[in-house]
Amino acid sequence: MAEPILEVRNLTVEYTSGKSIVQAVNNLSFTLERGEALGLVGETGAGKTTTALSIMQLITSPPGRIKSGEIIFEGRDLTKLSQSELRKLRGEKISMIFQDPMTALNPVITVGDQICEVIHLHEKVSRLEATQRAKKMLEMVGIPGERYSDYPHQFSGGMKQRVIIAIALARNPSLLIADEPTTALDVTIQAQVLEMIERIIKELKTTLILITHDLGVVADICDKAAIMYAGEIVEYGTLDHIYNHTMHPYSIGLFGSIPNFNEDVRRLKPIKGLMPDPTNLPKGCSFCLRCPDCQDRCTKEKFSPVEVAPGHIVRCVKYIND
């Protein structure tokens, strides 16, 4: 088998808030093959963005820190690299589309120059060549190259997000992390942006981590899905595993809360309760307080992930063979 492009091993990230410790990511592991697209799904506060920032090595310290674990990208542990080595990787090998297009762009620099900056940071090219390439990137994301000299305030929200995607892909990175890339956009523009991301990653053969709340988007774009809850991956596998052989009670609850146009029902089935306080997580399973299948041992023990089928991993007592 080919070597994975990314291996996250037992990653633990925490933030200090006053006298409290926020346990943002807890002993998280997953593997991503070259060219694959992985969807990270879960409620707000599940640790999805913290996971992405950890891969980018952009956790602000203080208050945050990677407490333990390894992040192996193309055979190198990113947690052990110097800042100068990381700067060479970001934009060149790993890029990120940040969540809010309204604040991710510099308002006093033209969009074309912001794309050129990425090219100049990683490659010695003339101003003319960088400009031509920046215009091509704008055209790739559906913006006329003549708008190179426009400023961010001259673009709509959807157009700004396209510019951010052009910046992220300017050096054709091996790994692209998209953190809820359509959150601030209306439904029609969302569909256009997602279609564009899917087309471009296939053209460029880019590996993708897509962070989203929308299981429908994951089904359209991704090859694998990881369901996150309270900083842990509770279920991980191919789309067939997650969508057709759903096993973890939290995953089942997520699918149960989605409207089904083939069924005539009066009310959806929400997951009862709220996510636990990350400064005071339950002693046992993090989902035990909301789980309809909770057993006595669930409140007392932490369970290791179990491979219930090749490539299908679930963290739940129901699948542990004692």
Beta bridge partners, 312, equal: 309
Position 110 in a domain: no
Read off the amino acid at residue 151. Answer: Y
Report the pLDDT value the prediction gives residue 184, as an integer from 0 to 100.
66
Position 192 in a domain: yes
Residues of the chain predicted below pLDDT 50: none
Strands 306-309 and 76-77: unpaired
Q: Determine the distance from the C-alpha atom of residue 195 to the mean position of all C-alpha atoms in its chain, rounded to a whole number.
A: 17
Q: What is the distance between the alpha carbons of residues 191 and 199, in angstroms, rounded to a whole number? A: 12
Report the pLDDT value the prediction gives residue 52, as an integer from 0 to 100.
94
Q: What is the distance between the alpha carbons of residues 183 and 99, in angstroms, rounded to a whole number? A: 7
Position 127 in a domain: no
Number of compact structural domains in the chain: 1
Q: Which two tokens stand for residue 245?
A: 């052989």
Which among 142, 190, 188 has a CA at the least distance from the CA of 169?
A: 142
Strand positions, DSSP E, the chain: 6-17, 20-32, 37-41, 64-73, 76-77, 94-97, 175-179, 207-212, 224-229, 232-238, 306-309, 312-314
Position 163 in a domain: no
Position 253 in a domain: yes
Strands 64-73 and 37-41: unpaired
Q: What is the distance between the alpha carbons of residues 205 and 173, in angstroms, rounded to a whole number? A: 9
Report the pLDDT value the prediction gives residue 257, as an integer from 0 to 100.
81
Position 131 in a domain: no
Q: What is the distance between the alpha carbons of residues 131 and 127, in angstroms, rounded to a whole number? A: 6
Q: What is the distance between the alpha carbons of residues 166 and 142, in angstroms, rounded to a whole number? A: 10
Q: Which two tokens stand for residue 214?
A: 């929308």
- pTM of the predicted model, to two decimals? 0.89
Sign of CA dihedral 252, 256, 259, 261: positive
Position 164 in a domain: no
* Residue 275 belongs to domain spanning: 6-93+173-319
Residue with tokens 């963005």: 49
Report the length, in residues, of the chain: 322
Report the pLDDT value the prediction gives residue 108, as an integer from 0 to 100.
93
User: In angstroms, what is the C-alpha Rg of the chain?
Assistant: 21
Report the pLDDT value the prediction gives residue 248, as an integer from 0 to 100.
94
What's the CATH number where 223 sits? 3.40.50.300
Contact 64, 14 (CB under 8 A): yes
Report the pLDDT value the prediction gives residue 153, as an integer from 0 to 100.
92
Position 114 in a domain: no
Report the pLDDT value the prediction gives residue 13, as an integer from 0 to 100.
95
Report the pLDDT value the prediction gives residue 322, as an integer from 0 to 100.
59
Model confidence over 24-60: pLDDT tens digits? Answer: 999 999 999 988 999 999 988 889 999 999 999 999 8
